[in-house]
C-alpha cells in the first residue's frame, strides 16, 4: 500500500540501502555489466532484472560461463564500476532527508563493496554515515538478513528501534527477516509489484518533523 499523506513513522535509527534507495546508479551499472555481457556473448537482458539488490559476486556466479572464473571476471567489473560514475544522481529527496538526520542515527546497508559505495555516494553528492555495512562485511548477501542485523549491532539497537528503506525485492525480504519495519521505494520496481509492502515513490515526500531528546526520530509523509 502506498503510504498516504499524513502517515507518521517513528524510529531511533534508519537503515538505508544505497542503489535505488539513496543513489540512482542504473546508467553506470547497465553500461559496465552490459559491456561485459556483450564481450562474453551473453544477452544482458537475460539477467538484467535479477541483478538489483544482490552482491556482485552472487550475480557473477549465477551467470558466468563455465570456462571463465567468476572472481577473475568480477575484478574487471569492479575496476570499471569505480570509474564509471557518469549519470549517478541522488534519489529525489535523499539529500534533504539525510542532511536533516543527526549523525549516528542512520546506517548505509549496501550490497556493493565499500570502495564502490564511497564512489557512488560521493558521485551522488551524499555523505557516508558512521556505520556502513557493505559486501565486504558479510558472507551472504541479501535476501539474507545478516547485513541488517550487523548494522543494528553496530548501532547498538534492536529491530523495534529501526526502520529499513529498500527498493529491491532481495533487500525488502532481508529487512523483513531482520524483524524491522521495512518501507519500499518504487524507484526500480513497478508499484504493482509492491502491493504487499508499505511503499513510497521516492524520498521526496518524507521529512523529519521532530527529534526527541532521547534520539527518537519522527517523520511524516506529505
Q: Which of 17, 24, 167, 202 is catalytic?
A: 17
The overall longest dimension of the chain from CA atoms, in Å, is 59
Q: Collect all residues with Cβ–Cβ distance below 8 Å to 89 and sequence separation of at least 6.
A: 23, 24, 124
Reply yes or no on whether 136 is catalytic.
no
In the chain, how many H helices and how many E strands?
Answer: 7, 11
From 36, 44, 118, select the one nearest 77 (Cα to Cα).
Answer: 36
Neighbouring C-alpha atoms within 13 Å toward the C-beta of 36: 25
Reply yes or no on whether 78 is catalytic.
no
> Which bin fits 80, alpha (ψ -120 to 50), beta or left (φ > 0)?
alpha
Are the CB atoms for 128 and 117 separated by under 8 Å?
yes
Alpha-carbon distance of 136 to 148, in angstroms, equals 14
Catalytic residues: 17, 19
Amino acid at each position: 500500500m502506498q503510504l498516504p499523506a499524513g502517515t507518521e513513522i517513528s524510529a531511533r535509527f534508519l537503515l538505508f540501502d544505497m542503489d535505488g534507495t539513496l543513489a540512482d546508479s542504473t546508467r553506470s551499472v547497465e553500461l559496465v555489466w552490459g559491456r561485459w555481457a556483450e564481450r562474453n556473448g551473453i544477452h544482458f537482458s537475460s539477467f538484467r532484472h535479477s541483478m538489483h539488490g544482490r552482491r556482485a559476486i552472487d550475480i557473477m556466479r549465477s551467470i558466468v560461463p563455465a570456462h571463465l572464473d567468476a572472481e577473475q571476471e568480477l575484478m574487471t567489473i569492479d575496476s570499471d564500476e569505480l570509474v564509471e560514475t557518469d549519470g549517478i544522481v541522488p534519489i529525489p529527496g535523499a539529500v534533504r532527508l539525510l542532511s536533516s538526520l543527526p549523525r549516528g542515527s542512520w546506517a548505509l546497508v549496501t550490497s556493493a563493496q565499500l570502495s564502490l559505495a564511497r564512489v557512488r555516494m560521493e558521485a551522488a553528492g551524499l555523505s557516508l554515515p558512521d556505520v556502513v555495512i557493505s559486501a565486504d562485511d558479510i558472507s551472504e548477501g541479501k535476501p539474507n538478513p545478516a547485513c541488517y542485523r550487523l548494522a543494528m549491532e553496530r548501532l547498538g539497537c534492536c529491530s523495534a528501534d529501526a526502520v529499513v528503506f529498500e527498493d529491491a525485492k532481495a533487500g525488502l525480504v532481508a529487512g523483513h527477516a531482520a524483524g524491522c519495519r521495512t518501507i519500499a521505494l518504487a524507484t526500480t520496481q513497478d508499484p504493482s509489484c509492491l502491493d504487499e509492502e508499505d511503499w513510497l515513490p521516492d524520498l521526496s515526500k518524507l521529512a523529519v518533523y521532530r527529534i526527541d531528546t532521547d534520539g527518537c526520530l519522527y517523520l511524516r509523509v506529505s
